[in-house]
Copies of this chain bind each other. A is one copy, B any other.
Amino acid sequence: MPELESFSLDPASPADWSAVRLQGHRMLDDLFDHLERIRERPVWQPIPADVRTAFDTPLPADPVPLAVAHERFMTQVLPYAVGNTHPRFMGWVHGGGTVEGMLAEMLAAGLNANLGGRDQMPLEVERQIVRWMRDLFGFPATAGGLLVTGSSMANLIGVLVARTRALGVGSRETGVADPALGRPLVAYAAASAHGCVAQAFAISGLGTQALRRVPVDADHRMDLTALRRQIAADRAAGLRPFLVVGTAGTVDTGAIDDLDALADLAQREQVWFHIDGAFGALGMLSPEVAPRLRGIERADSVALDFHKWGQVPYDAGFILVRDQADQLATFASPAAYLARHPRGLAAGSPWPCDLGPDLSRGFRALKVWFTLVTHGTDRLGAAIAQSCRLARRLQARITAQPALALLAPVSLNIVCFRYLDPVEDGHTRDEVATDRFNAELVADLHESGLAVPSTTTLGGRTAIRVALVNHRTEAADLDVLLDAVVRLGARRHRLAANPSSPESAFDPVFSCETAP
Contact = CB atoms under 8 A, between A and B. Distances in A.
A334 to B, nearest CB: 12
Given A60-B377, A125-B55, A315-B361, A346 B443 contact: yes
A292 interface: no
Interface stretch (A98-106, A421-429, A494-502): A98-106
Interface residues of A, number: 178
Contacts of A359: 150-152, 196
B124 A66 contact: no
From DSSP, what is the main secondary structure of chain A's interface residues? helix
A453 to B, nearest CB: 10
Contact of A122 (B77, B114, B209, B375): B77
A109 B313 contact: yes
Contact of A311 (B9, B56, B58, B442): B9
A210 to B, nearest CB: 6
Nearest to A200: B357
B177 A103 contact: no
Contacts of A196: 357, 359
A472 interface: yes
Interface string A346-374: 10000001000111111100110110111
A113 B362 contact: no
Interface in A183-210: 184, 195-196, 199, 201-210
A351 B314 CA distance: 17
Contacts of A31: 106-107, 110
A102 B98 contact: no
A36 B110 CA distance: 11
Interface stretch (A89-97, A212-220, A231-239, A485-493): A89-97
Nearest to A454: B346
Contacts of A28: 24-25, 28, 106
Nearest to A506: B343
10 contacts: A4-B475, A69-B100, A85-B111, A105-B108, A151-B359, A152-B353, A152-B359, A199-B333, A205-B205, A346-B446
Contact of A357 (B55, B128, B199, B380): B199
A52 B345 contact: no
Contacts of A152: 353, 357-360
A135 B372 contact: no
A357 to B, nearest CB: 6
A131 interface: yes
A300 interface: no
A127 interface: yes
**Which 8 residue pairs of A and B lie closest in terms of their CB atoms, listed nearest first?**
A205-B205, A150-B360, A175-B207, A344-B443, A105-B109, A97-B112, A31-B110, A344-B446
Contacts of A202: 172-173
B373 A4 contact: no
A383 interface: yes
How many copies of this chain does the complex contain?
Answer: 2
Given A24-B99, A56-B128, A110-B35, A208 B172 contact: yes
A376 B84 contact: no
A9 B100 CA distance: 10
A297 interface: no
Nearest to A52: B124
Given A77-B125, A110-B102, A8 B149 contact: no
Given A3-B475, A7-B471, A11-B36, 14 more contacts: A1-B393, A9-B380, A17-B36, A24-B32, A27-B106, A59-B132, A61-B377, A64-B373, A78-B111, A82-B122, A82-B345, A102-B110, A109-B313, A341-B439
Interface string A117-147: 0111110110110011001100000000000
Contacts of A163: 205
Contact of A120 (B7, B64, B81): B81
A63 interface: yes
Nearest to A35: B110
A379 to B, nearest CB: 6
A341 B443 contact: yes
Given A28-B24, A114-B84, A446-B345, A77 B360 contact: no
A57 interface: yes
Contact of A374 (B69, B85, B156, B195): B69
A515 interface: no
A122 B81 contact: yes
A430 interface: no
A24 B83 CA distance: 23
A78 B116 CA distance: 17
B360 A151 contact: yes
Contacts of A314: 112-115, 360-363
B59 A136 contact: yes
Contact of A114 (B121, B204, B307, B362): B307
